[in-house]
Amino acid sequence: MIDNKKIVVVLPAYNAAQTLEITYNEIPFDIVDDIILVDDHSSDETIEVGKKLGIKHIIGHEVNKGYGGNQKSCYNKALQLDADIVVMLHPDYQYTPKLIHSMCYLIANGVYEVVIGSRILGKGALKGGMPMYKYISNRFLTLTQNILMNQKLSEYHTGYRAFSAKVLRSIPFNTCSDDFVFDNQMLAQIFYADFEVAEITCPTKYEEDSSSINFSRSMKYGLGVLGVSTQYFFQKIGLSKAKIFKGIK
């Protein structure tokens, strides 16, 4: 059962002109109803490429709002379009759109409300060219997060995610950061709201045109991730009132 669900794929883009078309062409339009492209004030022709491809819903930020700010625009627009399932896919072709069928099937059939594509399951990360320092950092952060948040994910740092509309309406994702730590804050909100998260093995590609953050930004991100997990831990034991969890019942 998937035909009666409206599936919307959101593409949070920043300088994705070189990879947008190849990503778009692999999207399974036999089940996908709408595409939303949000361009975060790119310096290239991302919007022009999107228009050429015939993407109906294109949002262009007049200023750079950051990775988290981009996703907020994506999800808010998807909910406005009455999506039942929302898939967040990076348009840099790092993740294959061919997994959209599998991810949406689990949600459409009520097995899980959230599905993420894991680069760590099946050793896809190193095979795909993930730098060793990022792999080691990923493993360390994930272990620490699982302990603090009492979970068993293989990774928290993938940019390939699918959500039911119920989840997006249940968590206050607009209170999350506009920076890269947004992804982890959102997962913390999801767990705090008692939703379970499924993982599927996802091959990945680290190529010249794929988006990535430098070492200093990675360090900032890592510290932010640890901060989110610590907030979650103290919130759960009643010693914190973190802003990102307000409104979650």
144 neighbors 229 (Cβ within 8 angstroms): yes
pTM of the model: 0.94
Distance CA 142, CA 151 (A): 10
Sorted by where each begins, the domain ranges of the chain are: 7-245
Tokens encoding 38: 């949000």
pLDDT in tens, 209-237: 455 566 677 789 999 999 999 999 999 99
Q: How does pLDDT run across 99-116, given as a tens digit for each residue?
A: 999 999 999 999 999 999
Q: Average pLDDT over the chain, rounded to whole?
A: 93
User: What per-residue confidence (pLDDT) applies to 3?
Assistant: 78
Closest CA to 193 of 113, 249, 116, 110: 249
- In this structure, which topology does domain 7-245 adopt according to CATH? Spore Coat Polysaccharide Biosynthesis Protein SpsA; Chain A (3.90.550)
For residue 101, the model assigns a pLDDT of 97
As averages over each run of 10 residues, the pLDDT of the chain (249 residues) reads: 90 97 97 98 98 98 98 98 98 95 97 96 72 85 97 95 98 97 98 97 72 72 95 94 91
